[in-house]
Amino acid sequence: DAGITQSPRHKVTETGTPVTLRCHQTENHRYMYWYRQDPGHGLRLIHYSYGVKDTDKGEVSDGYSVSRSKTEDFLLTLESATSSQTSVYFCAISGARVEQFFGPGTRLTVL
């Protein structure tokens, strides 16, 4: 299995508070991705990174920002969480821009 961890695994927070989710990899893969998964929508790409300090938006990037200061870490920040951001968040990594390997997910609840 690809070495990917996500933290925290579960989080409950209140509307308006900032939240940061962390993805850590030990595979030295170049590409990292953040997805959210909601019933009826499958996996939707939020942001991705193609190298240290190189990031780009996905299809549902509004309300989210990312940072990648080291190869192994990719952070997803919700500057001011809203109830519509309640979801399960998955990080994925890829070394060849084809197969992506997923972390275990973070379940976020915004009250």
Partner 1 sequence: GQQLNQSPQSMFIQEGEDVSMNCTSSSIFNTWLWYKQEPGEGPVLLIALYKAGELTSNGRLTAQFGITRKDSFLNISASIPSDVGIYFCAGQLLRDSNYQLIWGAGTKLIIKP
Q: Least distance from C-beta 77 to partner 1, angstroms?
A: 21
* Least distance to partner 1, CB of residue 16, Å: 28
Structure tokens at 33: 């991705």
Q: Return the number of the residue (18 or 68) whose C-beta is nearest partner 1.
A: 68
Binding site for partner 1 (CB under 8 A): 40-45, 59, 90, 92, 97-105
Rounded least distance, CB 80 to partner 1, Å: 26
